[in-house]
Amino acid sequence: MADDGVDIEWESARTANLANWEDRVPLHEVAYGVDGLDDSSPLSSVVRTDLLALEPFLPGGSVSALDVCHLQCHIGTDTVSLARAGARVTGVDFSSGALTSAAALARRLGVDVTWVETDVLDARAAVTGDFDLVYTSIGTITWLPDLERWAAQVAALLRRGGTFYIRDGQPALYSIDENADHLRVRYAYFGDGRAQEWNDASTYAGDGTVAHTRTYEWPHPISEIVNSLIGAGLQILRLDEHATVPWRFSPRMVEVGDDFAWPEGERRLLPCSFTIVARRPLG
């Protein structure tokens, strides 16, 4: 359970979150199956899913030969997958340990990726060049208190006519008590600027535990997400909601292919994830 509604300065929250994410790196190297990204399975399951939704909106229907910026890339499994799909990729993350792991993975696979260590909220100032595609997926924006600033980074990184794609957990899912024996709302759907404080030694993937257990997240309703992108000057091309999510949010969830969903009788009651495709206008 989280403490819902905590007043905390961004720098303090960021420091706590960074310590937690540094602890996750060795755990996620195992849980993400980085050794499985070989020639017989060149793309992560996340990227395989995302490309199906994204490619109809891309020039030539592919990421091949596009300049791509992957925000909040973590240990790089999805970043190197985009590169193996033919893109020229820059991966951005605030964790030095995650980027060290990502760079080692890229070297092992013989993939050329540029890595940039920075907060996503400062990405435009830290990243060189502009991009045909800015990509983020999945489990990203709940860690950010300011979506207007986030969307401004996205828009500034895009070339005119460039595409933005996000897949993330649906905010309604994050309002649910993950440990209840039925669908029960427990946490705030609408944000008020305050954080949710968590104290949890586990992570969403794998069986290990972290030493730095305290983290902070911020609820953002779907309207805030969409309106932040519109406010940054992007055109929304498509918004979809989905019944699955690529991690077991609740112990009651069941496996559906590479993803997880509520039991069959509840699956139509609540969205689990969303995707947005947006574009920076040519004019």
- Looking at residue 62, its pLDDT comes to 96
52 vs 201 pLDDT, higher one: 52
40 vs 175 pLDDT, higher one: 175
Q: For residue 200, what is the DSSP state?
A: -
* Average pLDDT value for the chain: 92
Confidence of residue 254 (pLDDT cuts 50, 70, 90): very high
CATH architecture of the domain with residue range 3-279:
3-Layer(aba) Sandwich (3.40)
The pLDDT of 42-59, averaged and rounded, is: 93
The SS3 assignment for 230 reads helix
- Looking at residue 205, its pLDDT comes to 61
Confidence of residue 1 (pLDDT cuts 50, 70, 90): low
Q: What is the pTM of this model?
A: 0.94
- Looking at residue 206, its pLDDT comes to 61
Which pLDDT tens digit goes with each residue over 89-130? 999 999 999 999 999 999 999 999 999 999 999 999 999 999
Confidence of residue 182 (pLDDT cuts 50, 70, 90): very high
161 close to 244: Cβ distance less than 8 angstroms: no
Name the region of 247 (left: φ>0; alpha: ψ -120 to 50; beta: rest).
beta
Taken as a whole, the chain contains a residue count of 283
Half-sphere exposure at residue 41, Cβ-oriented, CA atoms within 13 angstroms: 10
| pLDDT(197) > 80 | yes
Task: Please state the domain extents for the chain.
Answer: 3-279
- Looking at residue 203, its pLDDT comes to 67
The pLDDT of 67-73, averaged and rounded, is: 98
Confidence of residue 149 (pLDDT cuts 50, 70, 90): very high
- Which residues are registered as beta bridge partners of 137? 167
Which pLDDT tens digit goes with each residue over 20-46? 989 888 876 775 666 666 665 688 889
Packed helices 10-31 and 96-109: angle between N→C axes, nearest 10 degrees: 30
- Listed range (78-92, 107-121, 191-205) with the worst mean pLDDT: 191-205
Pairwise CA distance, residues 84 & 230, whole Å:
31
53 close to 234: Cβ distance less than 8 angstroms: no
- Looking at residue 31, its pLDDT comes to 58
